[in-house]
């Protein structure tokens, strides 16, 4: 997860751009990480430029407390801070891995909350397929540590709702359109092959 303050910089991808083939194609990875993610970084820096007080805060401190933001730039700051936060999480959360299956306490919590891992996967996939327009689906923990599936439209984030993310799927069209065209459900199905539980 991004651990930076202003001015934000695009983090390197932690693995080669073609490492998630054939599930996520190399061209999508380049455009998504180097263009879309970078645009949120650049726009967040621009949005925070007039506000030295906000520049000193961590990203999730900004997201948790939108009421403190200057009214005229609130939407712009939240949108871009959300884009940076969500993409940072996403590119950490997908990776070439031997274990795209939860273990330990997370697995037992999933089993207890959703019945089984397969039930959880089905429910999460249905949520992700059902996001209307652009947005995200998260597995989160609430204040009590309980698991839930959480859909966020556009660039809303878990911290705004006092939730802590565990995994996320980006279901904006730019995340899958080159390879999967309009078939979001196939992208979601394939993402399970590269999701990394920690
Ligand atoms: Mn995206």
What is the whole-number distance in angstroms between the Cα of residue 93 and the centre of ligand 1?
Answer: 13
Per-residue pLDDT, 174: 97
What is the whole-number distance in angstroms between the Cα of residue 172 and the centre of ligand 1?
Answer: 6
Per-residue pLDDT, 100: 86
- How big is the chain by its Cα radius of gyration, in Å? 17
For residue 57, pLDDT beyond 90: yes
For residue 1, pLDDT beyond 70: no
Helix H segments across 56-116?
59-64, 74-93, 104-114
What is the whole-number distance in angstroms between the Cα of residue 36 and the centre of ligand 1?
Answer: 6
For residue 41, pLDDT beyond 80: yes
For residue 22, pLDDT beyond 90: yes
What is the whole-number distance in angstroms between the Cα of residue 22 and the centre of ligand 1?
Answer: 18
For tokens 């995340």, the residue is: 175
What is the whole-number distance in angstroms between the Cα of residue 131 and the centre of ligand 1?
Answer: 14
| Range 47-75 average pLDDT | 97
- Report the C-alpha gap between 136 and 155 in whole angstroms: 8
What is the whole-number distance in angstroms between the Cα of residue 187 and the centre of ligand 1?
Answer: 13
For 81-114, how does the pLDDT look when each residue is reduced to its tens digit (9 = 90+)?
999 999 999 999 999 987 789 999 999 999 999 9
What is the whole-number distance in angstroms between the Cα of residue 108 and the centre of ligand 1?
Answer: 30
Confidence of residue 155 (pLDDT cuts 50, 70, 90): very high
What is the whole-number distance in angstroms between the Cα of residue 115 and the centre of ligand 1?
Answer: 30
CA distance readout (Å), 21 to 96, 127, 169: 9, 24, 17
Per-residue pLDDT, 87: 98
What is the whole-number distance in angstroms between the Cα of residue 139 and the centre of ligand 1?
Answer: 17
Per-residue pLDDT, 188: 98
For residue 177, pLDDT beyond 90: yes
> What domains can you pick out in the chain, each with its CATH number?
26-93 (1.10.287.990), 104-191 (3.55.40.20)
What is the whole-number distance in angstroms between the Cα of residue 171 and the centre of ligand 1?
Answer: 7
What is the whole-number distance in angstroms between the Cα of residue 194 and the centre of ligand 1?
Answer: 16
């Amino acid at each position: 997860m991004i651990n930076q303050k202003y001015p934000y910089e695009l983090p390197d991808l932690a693995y080669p751009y073609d490492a998630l083939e054939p599930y996520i194609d190399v061209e999508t990875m380049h455009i998504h990480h180097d263009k879309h993610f970078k645009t949120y970084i650049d726009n967040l820096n621009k949005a925070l430029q007039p506000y030295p007080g906000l520049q000193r805060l961590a990203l999730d401190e900004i997201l948790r407390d939108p009421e403190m933001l200057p009214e005229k730039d609130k939407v712009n700051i939240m949108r871009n801070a959300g884009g940076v936060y969500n993409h940072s999480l996403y590119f950490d959360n997908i990776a070439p891995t031997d274990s795209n299956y939860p273990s330990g306490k997370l697995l037992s919590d999933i089993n207890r909350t959703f019945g089984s891992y397969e039930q959880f996967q089905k429910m999460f996939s249905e949520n992700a397929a059902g996001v209307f327009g652009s947005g995200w689906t998260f597995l989160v923990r609430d204040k009590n540590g309980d698991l839930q599936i959480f859909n966020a439209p556009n660039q809303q984030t878990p911290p705004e709702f006092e939730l802590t993310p565990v995994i996320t799927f980006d279901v904006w069209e730019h995340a899958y359109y080159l390879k999967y065209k309009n078939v979001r459900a196939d992208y979601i199905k394939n993402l399970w092959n590269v999701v990394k539980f920690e």
